[in-house]
């Protein structure tokens, strides 16, 4: 990762708000020439500070009205066990996020479902079939309060 100065931070702040901003407008907003701004942004991308540009699509717009938070315990935390679980969970299209955890559960997942019947299908066909799973605990989000795509700069 590159060391971030005030100009880099300003660039990141602007592109987090609008990833489709033109280079000319970005340069103007951060007080650089377009060529200098383009070079800075290129460095931020190549260093891994900027990892991509994405469209945020509302799950509800695609008829996914339910979000489940799923806690999963495995039979052990051997490297092979974790690798096999992680490879398999990446194949489940409804898993939006998966974290390896410390504490009581090995993994926490955020899963999108159209409704309770759809979640039952995901649980039966995907989650329960994941390798080395010994316990699944599901909770359902009642309302989203905040979902930040990035940490503030």
What is the pLDDT confidence band of residue 1, given thresholds at 50, 70 and 90?
A: low
CATH number for domain 6-46, candidates 3.40.50.1820, 3.20.20.140, 1.10.10.10, 3.30.9.10: 1.10.10.10
Predicted structure pTM score: 0.82
CATH class of 59-140: alpha beta
pLDDT, tens only, 25-76: 999 999 999 999 999 999 999 999 999 998 888 888 999 999 999 999 999 9
CA distance 149 to 151: 7
The answer to whether the beta carbons of residues 73 and 138 sit under 8 Å apart is: no
User: Is the per-residue pLDDT at 84 higher than 70?
Assistant: yes
CA distance 130 to 47: 35
User: Is the per-residue pLDDT at 86 higher than 80?
Assistant: yes
Spans of all domains in the chain: 6-46, 59-140
């Amino acid at each position: 990762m590159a060391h971030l100065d005030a100009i880099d931070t300003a660039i990141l702040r602007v592109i987090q708000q609008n990833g489709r901003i033109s280079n000319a407008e970005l340069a103007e907003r951060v007080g650089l020439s377009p060529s200098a701004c383009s070079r800075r942004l290129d460095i931020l991308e190549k260093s891994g500070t900027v990892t991509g540009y994405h469209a945020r699509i509302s799950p509800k717009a695609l008829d996914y009205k339910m979000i489940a938070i799923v806690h999963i315990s495995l039979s052990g935390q051997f490297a092979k066990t974790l690798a096999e679980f992680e490879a398999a969970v990446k194949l489940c299209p409804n898993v939006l996020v998966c974290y390896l955890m410390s504490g009581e559960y090995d993994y926490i997942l955020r899963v999108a479902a159209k409704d309770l019947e759809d979640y039952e299908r995901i649980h039966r066909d995907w989650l329960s079939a994941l390798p080395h799973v010994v316990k699944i605990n599901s909770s359902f989000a009642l309302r989203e309060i905040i979902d930040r795509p990035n940490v503030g700069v």
